[in-house]
Amino acid sequence: MGKRIVIALGGNALGKNLPEQMAAVKHTVRAIADLIEEGHEVVVAHGNGPQVGMINIAMTTLSREDPSHPMAPMSVCTAMSQGYIGYDLQNALREELLNRGIHKSVATILTQVEVDPNDPAFQNPTKPIGTFMTEAEAEEMRRRGNTVMEDAGRGWRRCVASPLPKAIVEIDTIRALLAAGQIAVACGGGGIPVYRTEGNHLKGAGAVIDKDFASELLAEELDADTLIILTAVEKVAVNFGKPNQLWLDHLTPQEARDYTAQGQFAPGSMLPKVQAAVKFAESKPGRTALITLLEKAKDGIAGKTGTAISQ
C-alpha cells in the first residue's frame, strides 16, 4: 500500500542559477519518480532561496537603470520563481515518468499562502535569500539598507522577513489534482506570501515563507503519511562538524526539542527542518517526518537511512 508523501526539495536539488537548475532537476526527478514508481502518492514542494534573490536583484537593477519599471515586491519575485522552477520540474518529471512507462500528469500550481501581517517576523528579518557573499559584499549590502546574516558558516546572504504560514489558498486545487491521480508541484519557495485586507482581497507581503514550514502545513492539509525534507546531508547530527559528531537515526519530538534547546541545529539551515518535522510528527498519530539526502529518499521511506522523527 503506497503512502501519501509531501517532498520538500532543498536548494541543492535545484542549483543556484538557470544552467545549474536545468541540470539539477534531471537528477532530482529520478528520486521523485522512484517513489511514484513504487506506488506512492507524491506532491512536490521546493525552496527558492537562490532563485528569488536572483530575480529580486535583476528586477531591482532594472528599476534603477530605467525608472519607468517599478520595483518588484518580494511576493511578485516569489511568484516568478514558482513559475520558472515549476516549469523545469514539471517538464523533467513528466519526461522521466514517461520514460518509465508511467502516464501521470504533472502540474505546477502558483500557490498563495496566507500569513499574519502582525507576525513579529516582519520586525526581525531572518530568512536568507540570494547567493552567498563575502563579508565585504555583505557590508556593501548593509549600506544599501538591507539586512544580511552569516549563514551556517557558508558565507553571508541577504535576509528578509519569514512569517509563519497560516493557510494555503489553493489547497482545494491541490487536493483535486491528487484525487485525480496527478502530481502537483505546489507551495514553491514557501508560497507567495499574502494577507487579507478589505473584503476578499489578498495583498502580497514583503517576505519569504520558509519552505519547510509551508511544506509541513501542506502535508497536514493533504493528510499525508510522510513529510520528506531533503537536504545536503544523509542524516541529522548533533555536535555537527566536531570530533564527537553523532548521526541520528530516529528522534522523538521531545528529543528534538531538547537538542534544539541546546543549540544543536543551525538557524536558517537545519533548525527549521527539525522544527517543521516535529510539528508534522505531532499533528496526528502515525505521521512520520524524514530528513535525508535526495538520493536516499527511497531508502529513507524503506527505513534504511535518514533521520525519522515520529512519536
Name the active-site residue from 273, 279, 296, 298: 273
Q: H or E segment at 77?
A: helix 74-99
Is 12 among the residues known to form the active site? yes
Name the active-site residue from 130, 189, 211, 279: 211
Closest CA relative to residue 280, chosen from 305, 311, 304? 311
Provide the CB-side half-sphere exposure for 1 (13 A, CA): 2
Q: Which residues, other chains included, contact 171 with Cβ-Cβ below 8 Å and sequence gap of 6+?
A: 218, 221, 222
Q: Which three cell numbers stand for residue 38?
A: 513504487
Is 273 among the residues known to form the active site? yes
Is 127 among the residues known to form the active site? yes
Name the active-site residue from 11, 189, 190, 300: 11
Name the active-site residue from 10, 53, 127, 190: 127
Alpha helices for 154-302 (secondary structure H): 171-179, 211-221, 253-261, 270-283, 297-301
Residue 189's Cβ-count burial label (10 Å; 0-12, 13-18, 19+) is buried
Is 26 among the residues known to form the active site? no
What is d(CA 208, CA 69) in angstroms, rounded to the nearest whole number? Answer: 22
Strand partners, 290: 228, 308
Residues designated as active site: 11-12, 127, 211, 273
